[in-house]
Structure 1
Amino acid sequence: MERRFLTFAAAAQLLFLLGLQSSTLSINESKLQCRESERVALLEFKDGLRDPHSLLSSWEGSDCCNWRGVSCNNETDNVVSLNLGYWHLFNGLTTAWRLGGELSPSLLGLNDLNHLDLSSNDFRGIAVPEFIGSMKKLSFLNLSNAGFGRRIPHQLGNLSSLRYLDLNSFYSSHDLYVDSLGWLSRLSSLQYLDMNSVNFENVGDWFVSINLIPSLSVLKLPHCKLTEFPLSFSFRNFTSLTYLDLSNNEFHSSLPNWLFNLSSLQYLNLRFNQFQGSMPDDFFNMTSLEVIQLGNNELVGSIPRTISLLCKLRNLDLSKNNITGDTASLAEISVGCAGNSLEVLNLRNNNLTGNLSDWLVNFKRLDTLDLGHNSLNGPIPVSIGKLSALKYLMLTANGFNGTLPESIGQLSELILLDLSFNSLDGVVSDVHFANLLKLEQLSLASTSLAVRMSSSWTPPSQLMIISLRLCRLGPEFPSWLRTQKDYSVMDLSSTEIEDVAPNWIWNLSEKILLLDLSHNLISGNLPATLEFASISILDLSNNKFEGSLPTFSSSMEYLDLSNNMLTGSILPFFRFPLPILSHLFLSNNLLSGTIPSSICQDAELYVIDLSNNQLSGELPTCWANFQILTALTLANNNFSGEIPSTIGSLKALGTLHLGGNHFKGELPTALQNCTTLVTLDLGGNEISGSIPAWIGELLPLLRILRLRSNFFNGTIPSQLSRLGSLQILDLADNNLSGTIPPSFGNITAMAQTHKPNERMLDNMQGNVRSSLYNYGPSGYTESLLVVMKGKERQYIQNLQYVASIDLSNNQLTGQFPKELGDLIGLQNLNLSSNQLTGKIPDEIGKLKLSESLDLSMNGFTGSIPTAMSVLTLLSHLNLSYNNLSGRIPSGYQLQTLDYTSYLGNPGLCGAPLNECGSNKTVFSIIPACADGDDECESEKLGLYLGIVLGFVAGFWVIWGILLFTENLSEAYFEFIDELLDKLPFARKMDIYDEDDEEEDTN
């Protein structure tokens, strides 16, 4: 589509140039002989230029009219045109050959010069010369993308004959700006004005000045930082305007009504602004319109119906707005005058509803239809096959359902077909592609379509993009793919393939950029080398590939071989440098060996994930080479030694996972330099010493701190409470002592309530990729094992919503800080197996999002706070083995929990334990023992043996009598039946008995 717009503009420009030059030039080289003064002026001009490759080598001799880029008037012999534009004069040469240097004022000696083109050269930021404003006969001036910078001189306003002015600087790296536009209003003959990417930030009168140009036909001011757009004005000269481009600015208003009175306008581009409100239904005056581009704004409401009256309309782009309404408005446009002329219809990213039907066939000339990312539904109509001119069909991300009509196969001009992210199902067969001779891009991703081609089928075209993610292709590998030789993207991830990878799949296209076979059950060995392929992104994760790691070409940027069964040493993989490799995922394999220092050759790495392998040895010390590394994950291997202090030089590091290894020593102080750390996971090692206070003082972005299962000692630093973003704090299984800092109640992120609760997290569990290619700047999905509800759980996509504190299995003393009650977003709190005393504070009732609370194996006394009964989300509670007493607070939640939640508290009573006042204490006879209390453990063992022996003896005494005494046994069972009938759960027992009977009968 964009190419068509550029073609339109280029054609208009070309026609203008031809007309202009035909009126001024009549070249007959055999008769021309330039004036000596002008020849000298041109040579002086050449001397000021930088021309290292002698592009102006023809500028020799006396006849300058035959010099390259010079044209003369055949009657006066005066130079009238100087065309040194790079693309006009030196097309095909390398950009390094562009002209540069200084512009000599000797050009003023060319008295009749009316055409000057220096476009697309490289003048490296010098200012546009003021003397150009003295070249009074100039009617054509093109300085576009020539590398000029600084302020545009006001002297250009003296060029009263100028009809064409191009100062476009879009492709220039130098700033070109204006501080006033008063000079523009003096260009009374100007018809064409292009100031693309010129900075208008300090100009407030831009519209007033341009409005004073009476004959302006083409106005291009995109990327100019314009903010003011007048909604009304009393005088205008825009009656000749045919082309208006104000795209990519900063307008923040409604569309002005006067805009719809420009009856001569053919091209209107206001894309990428912030226009608001609805579109006026006033298009009936704009009968010349061919192109309407209003995409990427904030327009609301329905599509104006008067658009149907625009008989010349070729392109309608309203994409990325908030257009609402159903497809009835499109049906009306299709039967109007516009239906016969429209070629491009782009309504992508709006809120359209309804379905498609036979009105589509009224767009007889339509070659581009983009309705992606709306709320359309229903089936794709069979009549779509009658759009014989269609080249680009994009219906992605809607609610289309049903099967794919076979009539799609009649679209013989189709180049791109994107039906991804819909609810389509059924079978796609050879018939659907039989006549798609020009198809280059195919995306059926994230549908439920079953792609079932016959084994002998050969596609009629060569595809460049093949995206079939989540389609049903398997179980065998699709043989028709063998015929595709030109693809650059192939995504077959999650397609139910359970086959051995065929050898031909590794004969990769020379053009390939991306191959994704992930999340299947593809087996077989990887080839020994893929060095011949120019592939950039390779994802073979979550399969059953075996063998050793192959070698890759230097073009590799993203590599994911995680979750396979690859074996062997990792050393050969790093033998040859991969200079642009940015993402490396080799986790969850069986790789062994040490990480060699040669890994530091790949200094462009953003992400390194080698977790869950069998790697060993000490880490290399060359981490200072990785200045852009954002994630380093080496967890669950057999690494040993100390953590290298050079990791502290990773200034961009956001994630560090070193847990589940054998690292020793103290935490390196150099880590305090990693001020961008978000995740620090060192759990499951042998790290000792105290937890440093600088973690809370110098790592302000930290959200996850996991130091569990190490040998840390000393007190918990109160400075950790300064980590306002902290959501997970796990210090369990260490030798920490002292009290819990009350200041933990100040951790901001845990005091927020806008996170989903645990039930929502359960539904979100899983690593689901939500886009076609999820390879972002970091490209890393964070995951973490969190102990919650007594179990270790893996959190991935939902990790951002978890809030947890685990200080269990330490030697903490003191009381439960009531300030922890301020952490109202907390979902998991575990303080078990410490030496905490005192009462459980009433403030615990404020933890209303809490789902898991473990205070067991401490010395808490007093009653259970009544406020705990309002914790309605609480599904795991453990208060066992404390010294709690009194009645368990009434309230549905606490009574539904298992009785084991309250064991070991002799003074507790009430449901689900015994009723208060009962002499029996069934669940309080087993003593709570502190760690290391051998006498208590011996007493508990004796009690267990007594219970068992007593049970055995009592069992045989009672049942022996019943078995051998018939009358007594009958009386006993009658008594039991009468007792059960009086119990509240008797009916439930009856139901279970009936079910058992029925099951036995069956």
Structure 2
Amino acid sequence: MKILGSVRFLLILGSLYCFISKQTLCAEEPNPRCIESEGKALLEFKAGLQDPHSLLSSWEGGDCCDWRGVSCNNETNHVVSLDLRYQHLFDGVSTAWHLSGKISPSLLSLKYLNHLDLSSNDFGGDAVPEFIGLMKGLSYLNLSNSGFSGRIPPHIGNLSSLRYLDLNSFYHFHDLYADSLEWLSRLSSLQYLDMDSVNLENVGDWFPAINMIPYLSVLKLPNCKLEEIPVSSSFHNVTSLVSLDLSNNQFYSLLPNWLFNMTSLKHLNLRLNQFQGSIPDGFAKMSSLEVIQLGKNELVGSIPPTIGMLCNLRTLDLSSNNISGDTASLVEISAGCAGRSLEVLNLRNNNLTGNLSDWLSKFERLDTLDLGHNSVYGSIPATIGKLSSLRYLMLNHNGLNGTLPESMGQLSELILLDLSFNSLDGVVSDAHFANLSKLEQLSLASTSLSISMSSSWLPPFQLKLIGLRLCKVGPKFPTWLQTQKDYGVLDLSNTKIEDVTPDWLWNLSSKILMLDLSYNLISGKLPATLEFVSISILDLNNNKFEGLLPALPSSMEYLDFSNNMFSGDILPFFGYQLPIFSHLFLSNNLLNGAIPASICQDLEFYVIDLSSNQFSGELPTCWADLPYLNALNLANNNLSGKIPATIGSLNELRTLHLGSNHFKGELPIALQNCTTLVTLDLGENEFSGLIPAWIGELLPFLRILRLRSNFFHGIIPPQLSLLTSLQILDLADNSLSGTIPPGLGNITAMAQMHKPNERMLEDMQSAVKSSVSNYGPSGYVESLLVVMKGREQEYSKNLQYVASIDLSNNQLTGNFPRELGDLYGLQNLNLSGNKFTGKIPDEVGKLKLLESLDLSMNSFIGSIPMSMSLLTSLSHLNLSYNNFSGRIPSGYQLQTLDDPSIYLGNPGLCGVPLDECGSNETIFSIILACSDGDDECESEKLGLYIGISLGFVTGFWAIWGVLLFTESPSEAYFRFIDKLIDKIPFARKIDIYDEEEDEDETNAFLY
């Protein structure tokens, strides 16, 4: 027994040793499972692939069933699954690690393969291999986002065992396409089909093929360019669908009736289409529905209360439609069983009205509530604090008023709170944030809330976004901000802060992307360098910062230091390359020195605005290095020399402001290459020579041309009339001669109304709100000084609605062109200080939108046209120092312009607001006003003479004919004359025209 026990003990020890040492002497090598022919096929498949990082390094010798991504049947040892999807191989690596190359037909040797997954690799735009249609054993095929392109081979329709087919091409948008889906009808076992972003625009009637698949439960056809969808039809097979995604197509119809027969449907996504009409009550029959996504369509009407009957509904997305009605419809939904199941309620960007009453608290499980961009009004109810599951609350862009309820502080799960763009007021204290330990994004922007936290308050959260624009935060910097270390966005613009920047402010979050302190009264200096942070957007516009400019981090993209008191040069910005620097605004500071050539090393510049500083010297010549520059503003400095020809290399340039400097010479012909220019402002310099004709011929998009106050001479090029988009033409204060080209009356943009109508104003306001609510930078905002109504005015936001011609203070001659009367949209016309002659044509009365008209200091003659009284928008008029004569027209707008200086220096004028006209002055004003040799005047004289003669003859015989042939009337008449002569001295004048009759004639003309 002892011997037997010892043997048993030794055997156990030996086995234990073998297990630990894994010595081959202790056990026989197991037979490899891999079937040799299939292993060889896999190696041939690998040989066609490019595998730069050896992800398939295990595919060498040994048992192929143990290779990465290969699975074999445990009983037959045949390869049944090949899973080489990118995420499976190596999560989180760069795209360069994807498998690529050619798919070898050796895969056909894997006759028992039923699972093939090559998704998320990169096969370089190759076509989907047609031989896949011969792999009859496949039940699972996933080629999604693998870089295939071209036509989907119809041979896939031969895979009758296929249950799962994923051809999703979202990351290679529309690289795959199909011109027919007939092959789908042969996939009788298919249960899952995903063709996201496959181009199907040439597929005609796509639905019948889908309807032939009897067991289909998941159908995903988003982003496919589908246009036609049957609205009413008796389809039966599709009723088995559990999930349907047809989002982001081009359907333009009512919601299809057959949808409401899908009683098994749980997930419905029809977002981003153009579905019309109201939301049907038929949804009430779809009791399995968990998700309804109908956002971004054109649905109208109210929300049907029957949706409240969907007891499984978790998500209701009706955002960005035209849904109207009162929030009372939500009262009924909240009272139904959907009120107890709903987790996401997204009604953003509709036309909902009404208030937020206690019904809101009945959505017990609500995780996300988005009512932004509606017309909801009233106060936020205190019962909102009962929504204990709420994580995302967006009520922005509404008409909410009143104070913020302290119960908001009970929303302990809240991550995002956006109440921006409402009329909320009152004080926000630490009590409002007492339990919001998970809060990450806070936006109270564009409200009237006053943020008043106690000095000892320690926030329970770490915010990633802080948006307090236009709230009352000041006058001191809030100390609680010191505790926030994780924010990426901090917006304190226009928050009434009047403080010196505390040192702790510049201990910026390491994650900061944007800091906006603009439109305050913040003073102090910046750190010598900001290179220690990764900030991309820094806006300090309109403050009192001073001192030198800091060095910038390489992450800087958008910087606005305008309207401060920074001094010194700008070299700290350009001592090294800033690879993504695109927007630079430094206007209205005290910066000086030359503009360095190193400004061109930041190749991504889109906007450079250095206007209104003290820069001097000549411009660098490196502009060809800035291929994307869109706006360059160097106006109002002390720059001199000539414009470098290299500016002509800026092919993307839209705006060029070089005004109010000391540039000289002729305009470089290279500027004609800037064919995308919209604004060309070279005013108030020392340019000379002719105005080149190529401005009109080669700058077709020009809307603003400002060349005033230079030394240009010669004629106004007729080619300027080719600028059909021109709205502002300012050539004043030069030495131009010749006549006004009649073709200027053909400029299309000046013949259109530019004042925004009510609808345009709404769109503008909406756009402004949208741009402000996004915490990113805006582009360059155009501004221009325009002399209008006798004074210089700066136009910025409204510049697009200004139409003006200023040719004043030149040496122009000739008449006022009648063609200018066709510029119906013109608001300002200044021809003063020239040598114009002739009469003002009646066509001036067609300029209905004209607000300012200055014709002073010329040699215009004749009467002021009666039609000028029709200029109902006119608020500034100057006709002084001409040779106008006759009575000043009365009526309409001219009655409101009662300043006598308007007509000063025209001795032949009379009437209000000047002295009253004499007896015969108004009758013979035409004769007195006309100069010899004027054909038009001669015609008017002839007409007057004929009228007087006919009137005399008619009057003579009307009276004397009666007297000669009738005795008693003649006696009565002479007795009347005798009595009249006795009463009236012979020295008294007899007016030919009665004044009242004259006024009647004027009114008759105007009507």
The TM-score with structure 2 as length reference comes to: 0.87
Letter in 2 for 1:907: G
Q: Tell me the C-alpha RMSD between the 2 structures.
A: 1.9
| Counterparts of residues 606-625 of structure 1 (less than 5 Å) | 606-625=606-625
| Counterparts of residues 575-974 of structure 1 (less than 5 Å) | 575-756=575-756, 771-772=771-772, 779-897=779-897, 898-917=899-918
Corresponding position of 2:957:
none
- Residue 283 and residue 347 in structure 1: after superposition, are their counterparts in 2 closer, same or farther (change >3 A)? same
Letter in 1 for 2:199: N
Q: Does 1:335 find its partner at 2:335? A: yes
Corresponding position of 2:126:
126
Corresponding position of 1:478:
478
Corresponding position of 1:420:
420
Q: Aligned equivalents of 2:546 and 2:290: distance in 1?
A: 58
Q: Aligned equivalents of 1:340 and 1:181: distance in 2?
A: 42
Q: Aligned equivalents of 1:697 and 1:715: distance in 2?
A: 16
Corresponding position of 1:936:
none
Corresponding position of 2:101:
101
> CA offset at residue 234 of structure 1?
3.3
Q: Aligned equivalents of 1:570 and 1:709: distance in 2?
A: 29
Q: Deviations over 1:793-816 (max 9, x none)?
A: 010100000111000000000011
Q: Aligned equivalents of 2:294 and 2:253: distance in 1?
A: 13
Corresponding position of 1:962:
none
Q: Does the CA contact (< 8 Å) of 1:757 and 1:827 recur in 2?
A: no
| Counterparts of residues 50-129 of structure 1 (less than 5 Å) | 50-129=50-129
> CA offset at residue 839 of structure 1?
0.5
> CA offset at residue 896 of structure 1?
2.7
Q: Does the CA contact (< 8 Å) of 1:607 and 1:778 recur in 2?
A: no
Q: Deviations over 1:595-616 (max 9, x none)?
A: 1111110110000000000000
| Counterparts of residues 23-38 of structure 1 (less than 5 Å) | 33-38=33-38
> Percent of counterpart pairs with the same letter?
78
Q: Does the CA contact (< 8 Å) of 2:787 and 2:793 recur in 1?
A: yes
Corresponding position of 1:215:
215
Corresponding position of 1:264:
264
> CA offset at residue 60 of structure 1?
2.2
Q: Aligned equivalents of 2:721 and 2:94: distance in 1?
A: 59
> CA offset at residue 818 of structure 1?
1.0
In the alignment, structure 2 segments of 5+ residues that lack a partner are: 1-28, 923-1007
Q: Does the CA contact (< 8 Å) of 1:849 and 1:873 recur in 2?
A: yes
Letter in 2 for 1:814: G
Corresponding position of 1:972:
none
Letter in 2 for 1:112: Y
> CA offset at residue 892 of structure 1?
4.0
Q: Does the CA contact (< 8 Å) of 2:462 and 2:484 recur in 1?
A: yes
Q: Does the CA contact (< 8 Å) of 1:148 and 1:174 recur in 2?
A: no
Q: Aligned equivalents of 1:318 and 1:438: distance in 2?
A: 28
**DSSP-derived class of the 1:551 partner:** coil
Q: Aligned equivalents of 1:256 and 1:777: distance in 2?
A: 42
Q: Does the CA contact (< 8 Å) of 1:403 and 1:424 recur in 2?
A: yes
Letter in 2 for 1:902: Y
Letter in 1 for 2:606: Y
Q: Aligned equivalents of 1:676 and 1:623: distance in 2?
A: 16
Q: Does the CA contact (< 8 Å) of 2:645 and 2:671 recur in 1?
A: yes
Q: Aligned equivalents of 2:735 and 2:729: distance in 1?
A: 16
Letter in 2 for 1:600: C
- Residue 357 and residue 769 in structure 1: after superposition, are their counterparts in 2 closer, same or farther (change >3 A)? closer
> CA offset at residue 182 of structure 1?
1.1
Letter in 1 for 2:220: K
Letter in 2 for 1:906: P
Instruction: Name which of structure 1's ranges 876-885 and 37-46 shifts more when overlaid on structure 2.
Output: 37-46
Q: Deviations over 1:914-948 (max 9, x none)?
A: 00018999xxxxxxxxxxxxxxxxxxxxxxxxxxx
Letter in 1 for 2:456: S
Q: Aligned equivalents of 1:497 and 1:410: distance in 2?
A: 30
Q: Aligned equivalents of 2:236 and 2:701: distance in 1?
A: 55
Q: Aligned equivalents of 1:409 and 1:50: distance in 2?
A: 57
Q: Does the CA contact (< 8 Å) of 1:690 and 1:713 recur in 2?
A: yes
Q: Does the CA contact (< 8 Å) of 1:124 and 1:174 recur in 2?
A: no
> CA offset at residue 205 of structure 1?
2.5
Letter in 2 for 1:909: C
Instruction: Name which of structure 1's ranges 773-782 and 670-679 shifts more when overlaid on structure 2.
Output: 773-782
> CA offset at residue 545 of structure 1?
0.1
Q: Does the CA contact (< 8 Å) of 2:174 and 2:197 recur in 1?
A: no
Q: Aligned equivalents of 2:318 and 2:397: distance in 1?
A: 17
**DSSP-derived class of the 2:288 partner:** coil
> CA offset at residue 266 of structure 1?
0.3
- Residue 409 and residue 502 in structure 1: after superposition, are their counterparts in 2 closer, same or farther (change >3 A)? same
> CA offset at residue 312 of structure 1?
0.3
In the alignment, structure 1 segments of 5+ residues that lack a partner are: 1-28, 922-1002
Q: Deviations over 1:469-528 (max 9, x none)?
A: 000001111111011000000000000000001111111111100000000000001111
Q: Aligned equivalents of 2:701 and 2:653: distance in 1?
A: 11
Q: Does the CA contact (< 8 Å) of 1:342 and 1:366 recur in 2?
A: yes
Letter in 1 for 2:39: R
Q: Aligned equivalents of 2:769 and 2:239: distance in 1?
A: 52
Corresponding position of 1:933:
none
Q: Does the CA contact (< 8 Å) of 2:537 and 2:777 recur in 1?
A: no
Letter in 1 for 2:587: S
- Residue 770 and residue 260 in structure 1: after superposition, are their counterparts in 2 closer, same or farther (change >3 A)? closer
**DSSP-derived class of the 2:360 partner:** helix
> CA offset at residue 573 of structure 1?
2.2
Q: Does the CA contact (< 8 Å) of 1:726 and 1:750 recur in 2?
A: yes
Corresponding position of 2:311:
311
Q: Does the CA contact (< 8 Å) of 2:173 and 2:197 recur in 1?
A: no
Q: Aligned equivalents of 1:376 and 1:858: distance in 2?
A: 59
> CA offset at residue 456 of structure 1?
1.1
Corresponding position of 2:515:
515
The TM-score with structure 1 as length reference comes to: 0.87
- Residue 778 and residue 413 in structure 1: after superposition, are their counterparts in 2 closer, same or farther (change >3 A)? closer
> CA offset at residue 98 of structure 1?
1.2
Letter in 2 for 1:246: L
> CA offset at residue 95 of structure 1?
2.6
**DSSP-derived class of the 2:785 partner:** strand
Corresponding position of 2:355:
355
> CA offset at residue 111 of structure 1?
1.3
**DSSP-derived class of the 2:913 partner:** coil
Q: Does the CA contact (< 8 Å) of 2:55 and 2:89 recur in 1?
A: no
Instruction: Name which of structure 1's ranges 893-902 and 313-322 shifts more when overlaid on structure 2.
Output: 893-902
Corresponding position of 1:346:
346
**DSSP-derived class of the 1:278 partner:** coil
Q: Does the CA contact (< 8 Å) of 1:371 and 1:396 recur in 2?
A: yes
Q: Does 1:385 find its partner at 2:379? A: no
- Residue 769 and residue 258 in structure 1: after superposition, are their counterparts in 2 closer, same or farther (change >3 A)? closer
**DSSP-derived class of the 2:814 partner:** coil
Q: Does the CA contact (< 8 Å) of 1:730 and 1:805 recur in 2?
A: yes
Corresponding position of 1:451:
451
Q: Does the CA contact (< 8 Å) of 1:125 and 1:174 recur in 2?
A: no
**DSSP-derived class of the 2:170 partner:** coil
> CA offset at residue 869 of structure 1?
1.0
Q: Does the CA contact (< 8 Å) of 1:707 and 1:732 recur in 2?
A: yes
**DSSP-derived class of the 2:772 partner:** coil
Q: Does the CA contact (< 8 Å) of 2:233 and 2:257 recur in 1?
A: no
> CA offset at residue 235 of structure 1?
3.6
Letter in 1 for 2:605: L
Count of equivalent residues? 889
Q: Does the CA contact (< 8 Å) of 2:173 and 2:198 recur in 1?
A: no
